Amino acid sequence: MKSIPIQELLPYLPHRPPMVWVDEVTKFSSTDGECLVMIKADALYMSSNGLRASSCLEFIAQAFGFVWSCYLTRTLDPASGPMKRAMLVSFKDAHFARPEVLSQVVPGDVLRVPIEGVRAVGSITAFLGKVFKGEELLCEVQMRTFCE
Amino acid sequence: MIEPAKVFHSLQEAGDCLSRDWVIPADLPYFEGHFPGNPIFPAVGIVDASICVLSSVLSDPGLTAPVILVAKFTHPLVPGDQVRIDCKNLNGREWSVEWIKGSAKPYASLRIEVGT
């Protein structure tokens, strides 16, 4: 699948720069998907010590939002409008790489953010999200979001 | 780029030993894009601020949070909201952090396993 630049998907989510942290959608389906983050020095997800652990949570939440938007608009219903509301309801079992690993994330790195096991009940959607640099796992978390 | 210790410097000031009162500043860097015309304090900011408060409470500037066991975000928090952030030790390295606004139930609650 040809990757989809996030600029094409901005109309479907309320996030705007500098809070758009994901760059491309590379896969999407009703249950799985994947996004890429191209690390930039001045982005809000960075600190002087490299990548903040918490930023991985936002990568995953946004990756889900953009993957889901792709599925809705490019598979399910091309006439789907933008999400009126999209928010993180909860997460659990968030595990992060050690600070010395996160500090080695530098501008120019590409992070892979796979989303797995998407299951929706009404307006609540649950899924597993991960963040990888190469083969190294930086974060793993179970999330629930509200979208309508 | 966000340096939590600078962005949330006002949370480092000592209050009651296990809580902080805070008015969410309107100039936090998140609000420009989250969301234009409808600013909402994002979960990532709540997580960073919670870790800053624990760092202050425990007098450990190098504190980290390698595991967040649970986090719930019940109601949106917006610029100008006056909140009380309550910390409670649950068991060894496990802490509860609750964001209270008025007398309502927590707007956000987290169970964080701290490291150094």
Q: What is the ipTM, given to two decimal places?
A: 0.92
B69-108 b/e with 16+ CB inside 10 Å = b? bebbbeeebeeebebbbbbeeeeeeebbbbbbbeeeebbb
Of A55, A56, A14, give the one whose Cα is nearest residue B33. Answer: A14
Mutate to test the interface with B, among A16, A19, A20, A46 (most CBs of B within 10 A): A19
At B18 the pLDDT is: 86
Q: Which residues contact A147 (CB under 8 A, 6 or more apart)?
A: A65, A68, A83, A85, A86, A123, A125
How far CA B65 is from CA of A68, A142, A143, B104, in Å, comes to 29, 17, 18, 27
Model confidence at B16, in pLDDT bands (50, 70, 90)? Answer: low
At B114 the pLDDT is: 94
At B19 the pLDDT is: 86
Rounded to 5 degrees, φ, ψ at A27 are -150, 150
Token pair 């997460």 in the structure block, residue: A91
Model confidence at B85, in pLDDT bands (50, 70, 90)? Answer: very high
Smallest CA–CA distance from A143 into chain B, residue = B71
pLDDT in tens, B36-73: 999 999 999 999 999 999 998 888 888 999 999 999 99
For helices B43-57 and A53-71, angle between their N-to-C axes, nearest 10 degrees: 170
pLDDT in tens, A21-50: 999 999 999 899 999 999 999 999 999 889
pTM: predicted TM-score of the whole model, two decimal places: 0.94
Of A98, A62, A87, A81, give the one whose Cα is nearest residue A11. Answer: A81
At B15 the pLDDT is: 55
Kindly provide the residue ranges of all beta strands, DSSP E only, lying in A12-123, ordered along the sequence.
24-28, 33-38, 46-47, 50-51, 86-96, 110-121
Low-confidence ranges of chain A (pLDDT < 70): none
At B17 the pLDDT is: 73
For residue A58, which residues of chain B lie inside 8 Å, CB to CB? 42-44
How far CA A17 is from CA of A13, A87, B14, B70, in Å, comes to 12, 17, 34, 28
Question: To 5 degrees, how large is the angle CA A107–CA A108–CA A113?
Answer: 95
Q: Which of B34, B93, B101, B111 is labelled catalytic? A: B34
Q: Does the annotation mark B75 as catalytic? A: no
At A89 the pLDDT is: 95
Q: Would you call A101 helix, strand, or coil by DSSP? A: helix
Q: Which residues contact A122 (CB under 8 A, 6 or more apart)?
A: none
For residue B32, which residues of chain A lie inside 8 Å, CB to CB? 16-19
Q: d(Cα B72, Cα A11) in Å, to the nearest integer?
A: 27
Choose among A16, A42, A48: nearest Cβ to B3: A48
